[in-house]
Structure formats: C-alpha cells, structure tokens
Amino acid sequence: MKISGVPYRTLWPGESGLVRVIDQRRLPFELVTLDLKTLEDAAHAIKTMVVRGAPLIGATAAYGLALALRTDASDRRIEEASKILRATRPTAVNLAWALERVRRAIARLDPGQRFEAALREAGDICEADVEQCRSIGAHGLEIIRRLAKPSARRVNILTHCNAGWLACVDWGTALAPIYMAHDAGIPVHVWVDETRPRNQGASLTAYELGAHGVPHTVIVDNLGGLLMQRGEVDMVIVGSDRTTACGDVCNKVGTYLKALAARDNDVPFYAALPVSTIDWSLDNGRDIEIEERSASEVTEVSGRTAAGEVASVRVVPDGSAALNLAFDVTPARLVSGIITERGVCEASREGLLRLYPERRRTG
C-alpha cells in the first residue's frame, strides 16, 4: 500500500542478503526502516515488536532462519535458530508454520545450497502472503458490498488492533476488504479501537488508513459497546494470531469483549485470516498459550510530546502492580464467519473443513 503516494511493503530484501523492515515502534510519528542482517537482528525485531502481526511475524521469522544459515547451514544450526525464533512470540502460530516451511524446503539440500534456498523460500512466503491477503480482501469485499446495498449508505466497520498491511507484507487481513471497498467507491468508515496496551490501533491502523485516505475515527477500547447499542456499527472485522480447528479465534486482548457486544446487538463479527494462522492441532481455544508481556507496556504510554519528541509517560502510581496478557480467545459461537483466502465459512470444524477439504482425516 502507499505512504504519501509511495508504494511500500512492510519488509523487502535489500542488498547482499539483508532484509529491510519498517520499524513499527516509531510509527505513526516517524517512518524509519531497519536492516536485519543476522538471526539475532530478526529475533530481536520480532520480540521487541519492530515487526508485529501474525503474517508479518511469520515472514520475518522465515528470513531470520535464512539469515542464520549464511555462514553455518548445518542441521544443528537450523535446529538452534528455529528454537530461538520460536521463543520470541509464543502465541502466533504462523511463526512455527513459516519456520517449518523453510525447513522443509532446505532439509534435503547440501549445506552449501541452504542459505540461498532459504532466502528464496522466505521470499516465496512473502509473495504467497500478499496473494492470500488480496484474496481475503476480495471475499470480504462481497460482505461489505451486501451491507452497503440497501441505499448505498455509509458502512461503519469496527476493528480492533492492527490487522492491516502493516501486520502483513501488504494489503492486510481484516483491513484488506476495507481497502478494496474504499477503492471500489463504497463509502466505508472505520471505528479504530486504540488497542491498549500498545495502541496498535491508534498508532498503526489509524496511520495506514489515513495514509490510504480511508475515513476513520479513533475510539478508546471502551466505546465499541455503546456504538453497537446505538446502531453505529454495521460489522466488526478483526485478524487472528491463531485459530483453532473448531473456529475459536485468538486475537489481541479485548477482541472477545467486542465479540460479546456484537452478539448482544446483532452486529456481524468476522475474523479475517490466512490458512497459516489455523492451528489444526488444537480444537479448544482455551488450550492456546497466552503470551505475557512486560508490565511496563501497561504502566507507560508512548507518544509525541508538545516539543515533538517521542517519549513515554508513566500512567500508574509507583508501587501499583500491573499485568499484561497480550491475547484473548473469542469462542467460535460468537464468530459470524471466518474470511480466508479461499472464501468465507462458518466458524466451526465443518465450516473450515469445507474450505480446506485436504485437512479431513481419512477414516
């Protein structure tokens, strides 16, 4: 997508095998890129959320594994690098999926060929992600089109956290249908949950929607319920960091509260996700490990000072404890539908298997 008219992706290969990424910790006030040259650079970028969003974490991890093999591409090194990368963010299932895909692509090659092959595979993962997001957008667009139909009226869509192009390589998952609707001339307006504690909505979603010219309004995470009670939300679309085989959706903490409000007010609630975020090994969302992050993300808020610098302020009294769990699980019963690159399905085992019949166990 574009920033000030210039097309961007969230990461792209640079010279001599390095990978360049947008440093998302600096948005929305500064657009800065960062070069990843080593495994450690990539692991650090994922852990500190230079890059974030399930699909982008997967793509960065794939490149991280490739970078690890530049000087030593032994089996032991692959094992060691995978372990380091897997430990960076425990909840996002794409991370393990992307590592596995690179490993499969290079397992039978001579160590001398592995670095180049891993780089190529990471590049293929990125291209596939862009295509998947484009397809998710096309399928989601049809839902928005139906909502707009009665009188070509404005469609109000609420989203939580950032599942836009900044969370992917391009397009986004939850935001892809919105970009396509906007580009197709459908009048869309987005309610952007600020998404504490890290404010990915206020800083990233608002930024990328603004850069593309999509009308939007930032709201605190507390407001969505009232807006739904008042009929000012036509649909909710969120992304997912991990989705179980039965359709439970693990996403940024607070998503579950919006799903409850959507159900209570008959507002359709969709999760948009590529197949790589589906964890076919898990049925029940309660079994998903929820990442606990630093309490300082709760006690401190980062933003731009009156002097124009980016700084943090403490918002909690000294001596008060804080707890920071990053995700929650929305049970399938609250999800109206799942939008994937293959189409829209019911949030259930049967629904997902209809789209991915190759996952049916033969009995």
What are the residue numbers of the active site?
Answer: 241
d(CA 133, CA 352): 17
By the rule CB under 8 A, 128 interacts with a copy of itself: no
Q: Which is nearer to a copy of itself, 45 or 298 (CB)?
A: 298
The answer to whether the Cα torsion of 275, 276, 280, 282 is positive or negative is negative
Tell which one of 179, 207, 269, 270 touches a copy of itself (CB under 8 A).
207
235 token code pair: 């649909």
Write each residue from 318 to 357 as x if it is in contact with a copy of itself (CB under 8 A), else as -, in one continuous string. -xxxxxxx-xxx----------------------------
CA 161 to CA 238: how far, in whole Å?
Answer: 8
Give the residue carrying structure tokens 């590592």: 99
How many other β-carbons are positioned within 10 Å of the β-carbon of residue 358? 5
Quick check: 216 binds a copy of itself (CB under 8 A)?
yes
Least Cβ distance, residue 197 to a copy of itself (angstroms): 5
Helices 54-68, 111-148: crossing angle, 10 deg rounding: 170
Do the beta carbons of residue 183 and residue 171 sit within 8 Å?
Answer: no
Piece of 2-10, 41-49, 311-319, 349-357 that binds a copy of itself (CB under 8 A): 311-319
Give the whole-angstrom CA distance, residue 14 versus residue 21. 10
Q: Of 224, 239, 337, 351, which one interacts with a copy of itself (CB under 8 A)?
A: 224
Kindly state whether residue 152 participates in binding a copy of itself, applying the rule CB under 8 A. Answer: no
The residue range among 65-73, 116-124, 187-195, 239-247 that interacts with a copy of itself, by the rule CB under 8 A, is: 187-195
Binding test (CB under 8 A) with a copy of itself, winner from 275, 316, 353, 355: 316
In this structure, is the dihedral angle defined by the CA atoms of residues 314, 317, 321 and 327, taken in order, positive or negative? negative
Q: Does 106 bind a copy of itself (CB under 8 A)?
A: no
CA separation for the pair 229, 135 (Å, rounded)? 32
206 binds a copy of itself (CB under 8 A): yes
Q: Which token pair is 107?
A: 């397992």
Residue span binding a copy of itself (CB under 8 A) among the ranges 54-62, 172-180, 300-308, 342-350: 300-308
Per-residue DSSP letter, 197: T
* Token code pair at residue 177: 């249908």
| Cα 131 to Cα 138: distance, rounded to the nearest angstrom | 11
Cα–Cα dist 73/353, whole Å: 37
> Per rule CB under 8 A, is residue 225 in the interface with a copy of itself?
yes
Residues 212, 182 contacting (CB under 8 angstroms): yes
Provide, rounded to whole angstroms, the least separation between the CB of residue 44 and a copy of itself.
Answer: 23
| Count of residues that interact with a copy of itself, criterion CB under 8 A | 63
| Of 38 and 302, CB closest to a copy of itself | 302
Per CB under 8 A, which region of 77-85, 129-137, 209-217, 348-356 contacts a copy of itself?
A: 209-217
Q: Is the peptide bond before 111 cis (omega within 30 degrees of 0)?
A: no
Whichever of 97 and 269 has its CB closer to a copy of itself, that residue is 269
The pair of three-digit structure tokens given for residue 1, joined into one six-digit string? 């997508």
| Least distance between a copy of itself and beta carbon 264 (Å) | 6
> Exactly one of 7, 317, 357, 363 binds a copy of itself (CB under 8 A); which one?
317
220 touches a copy of itself by CB under 8 A:
yes
Q: Which of residues 229-288 bind a copy of itself (CB under 8 A)?
A: 229, 252-254, 256-258, 260-261, 264, 286
> Whole-angstrom Cα distance, residue 41 to residue 46?
9
Phi, psi of 285 (to 5 degrees): -60, -25
The reply on whether position 24 binds a copy of itself by CB under 8 A is no
Q: CA dist 318 to 266, 293, 300, 314, 324, Å?
A: 42, 19, 11, 9, 17
Binding mask 74-93 for a copy of itself (x = CB under 8 A): --------------------
Residues forming the site for a copy of itself (CB under 8 A): 28-29, 192, 194-197, 199, 202-203, 206-207, 209-210, 216-226, 229, 252-254, 256-258, 260-261, 264, 286, 290, 298-306, 311-317, 319-325, 327-329
